[in-house]
Each structure stands twice: as structure tokens, then as C-alpha cells.
């Protein structure tokens, strides 16, 4: 859903505040930033942003805002805890100054590639991969998945589905695939976070 100028201004302020401070602003701080003197007016604006799917209001907390979808870029996520029902956008490390609509209207996030397990697909260490949030993926797509055992770990691999078995295959013969049977998936040992839709490689120097 499109944002009004004031909604966009407020959301961009909230995002910038998160980046600078690691936690969300108060209603008063948002009002001061966008020129609203009434707290009720700020609350109404925040509820509109919540209805449009950009943030979640946590009742009873002075800084009870949770970012769900960015307005001006694509968040680069660091640690993603297992079992989270939503991608935790407040845990982003930075925001890529890339228009999300370039990749469609879906919810997006980015991950920084660590290691060389996907070099055969042209994905190098340090690259940023753009992920479309979805729990469903097709055979052969490159997916971001969270492995919950022995501890939460996010991995980027090619998905292979065979007779109910879910396989996460590397694109490097030096690495072994992750194989999950039906019962593993049912137990939540693996969860698809999204499908890769783009790659950004920052130049050196």
C-alpha cells in the first residue's frame, strides 16, 4: 500500500532512529520529528502504518514498535532467531539504499554471504543476497533457511525436494548437503525464510 508523505516521513525517521540507537523512538520523539504536537495524531498515523503492514505496535511499551517492512531500502539482517513468526526487522545491521519495488511488492530482506559454499552459483563471500520472504519455494530455487539444531543458523542453499525429503544443496563440491526427512521438517528443524531474488556486490575501493 502506498504511503502518504507524512507516513513516509514518520517511517523513515523510525528506521533511521533504529539504525542510530538500536531501539525504536517514543511517540513524543516521532511527533517532534514530523511536526505533530498531538500524541493522538501520532498514534493514528502509527495505526495506519500498522494497517498497511509496515510496523507492529506492541501495547503497553513506551518504545513498543516493531518494524516489519522498510520504506526507503532493504534491511540487511544479522542474526535471525529460530521460531520467530516474523522476520525481525529491528535487528537489521544497515539499510541498503535500493528501492524495494525494483524486486516487486513483496516483503524483502538481505543477508551478507559468509563462506564459499555457493560459489558455483556465482555467489561469493561478502555478497549481499536479496531475499523475498516466503515459506514456500520451488524445486531448484536458492533459498535462505534457518536450521534450528544444535543452535539457530541461517544458510543459503539450493532447494531440492524429493519424495517428501527436503535437501539444501551447496554449489561447491567441498561441502555436503543438508538433508531433512518429513519428520525433521515437522519438528521445525528447518524453516524456509525466503527465496533469493537478487544479488548485490559492492565494489572494492
CATH number at residue 91: 2.10.109.10
- pLDDT value for 196: 94
**25 lies in some domain:** yes
Tell me, what's the pLDDT at 60?
A: 83
- Tell me, yes or no, whether 169 lies in a domain: yes
Whether 93 and 158 map to the same domain: the answer is yes
Domain residues for the domain of 22 are 5-67
> Would you say residue 132 lies in a domain?
yes
205 in a structural domain: no
> Do residues 115 and 143 both lie within one domain?
yes
Asked if residue 135 and residue 43 are part of one domain, the reply reads no
State which of 67, 86, 117 marks the end of a domain. 67
DSSP 91: G
**Same-domain pairing of 25 and 45:** yes
Residue 173: predicted pLDDT: 94
Is residue 119 domain-shared with residue 189, that is, in the same domain?
A: yes
Last residue of some domain: 67, 88, 103? Answer: 67
Chain-centroid distance, C-alpha 177: 24
State residue 87's pLDDT score.
60
pLDDT tens, N- to C-terminus, the chain (205 residues):
578 899 989 998 988 888 788 788 999 999 999 999 999 999 999 999 999 888 889 888 878 888 777 666 788 876 555 445 456 555 667 777 777 777 876 788 888 888 899 999 999 988 989 999 898 899 999 999 988 877 778 889 999 998 889 999 999 999 999 999 989 888 888 989 899 999 988 765 4
Q: Is residue 177 part of a domain?
A: yes
Would you state the pLDDT for residue 33?
96
Helices 5-21, 39-51: crossing angle, 10 deg rounding: 90
Nearest to 155 by CA among 196, 202, 187, 200: 196
80 and 151 both lie in a single domain: yes
- Secondary element (H or E) of residue 112: strand 108-112
Asked if residue 87 and residue 182 are part of one domain, the reply reads: yes
Q: What is the pLDDT of residue 66?
A: 84
Residue 123 phi/psi, 5-degree rounding, is -105, 115
One domain, residues 28 and 90: no
Structural domain count, the chain: 2
Predicted local distance difference test score (pLDDT) of residue 85? 47
In a shared domain, residues 78 and 63: no
By CB atoms closer than 10 A (0-12, 13-18, 19+), residue 44 is exposed
Catalytic (active-site) positions: 117, 157
The domain that holds 52 is classified in CATH as 1.10.10.10
Residues 57 and 78 reside in one and the same domain: no
Domain contains 86: yes
pLDDT of residue 82: 46
Beta bridge pairs of residue 198: 130
User: Nearest CA to 33 among 49, 51, 45, 50?
Assistant: 45
Query: Are residues 82 and 31 located together in one domain of the fold?
Result: no
In angstroms, the CA 141 to CA 116 distance is 18
Amino acid at each position: 500500500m502506498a504511503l502518504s508523505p507524512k507516513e513516509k516521513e514518520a517511517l523513515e525517521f523510525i528506521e533511521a532512529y533504529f539504525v542510530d540507537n538500536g531501539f525504536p523512538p517514543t511517540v513524543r520523539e516521532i511527533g517532534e520529528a514530523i511536526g505533530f504536537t498531538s500524541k493522538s495524531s501520532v498514534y493514528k498515523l502509527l495505526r495506519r502504518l500498522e494497517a498497511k503492514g509496515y510496523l507492529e505496535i506492541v501495547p503497553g511499551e513506551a518504545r513498543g514498535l516493531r518494524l516489519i517492512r522498510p520504506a526507503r531500502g532493504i534491511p540487511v539482517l544479522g542474526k535471525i532467531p529460530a521460531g520467530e513468526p516474523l522476520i525481525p526487522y529491528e535487528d537489521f545491521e544497515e539499510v541498503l539504499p535500493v528501492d524495494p519495488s525494483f524486486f516487486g511488492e513483496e516483503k524483502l530482506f538481505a543477508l551478507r554471504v559468509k563462506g564459499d559454499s555457493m560459489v558455483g552459483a556465482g555467489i561469493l563471500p561478502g555478497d549481499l543476497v536479496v531475499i523475498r520472504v516466503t515459506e514456500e519455494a520451488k524445486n531448484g530455487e536458492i533459498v535462505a533457511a534457518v536450521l534450528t539444531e544444535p543452535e539457530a543458523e541461517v544458510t543459503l542453499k539450493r532447494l531440492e525436494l524429493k519424495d517428501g525429503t527436503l535437501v539444501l544443496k551447496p554449489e561447491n563440491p567441498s561441502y555436503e548437503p543438508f538433508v531433512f526427512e518429513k519428520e525433521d521438517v515437522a519438528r521445525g528443524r528447518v524453516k524456509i525464510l525466503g527465496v533469493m531474488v537478487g544479488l548485490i556486490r559492492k565494489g572494492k575501493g
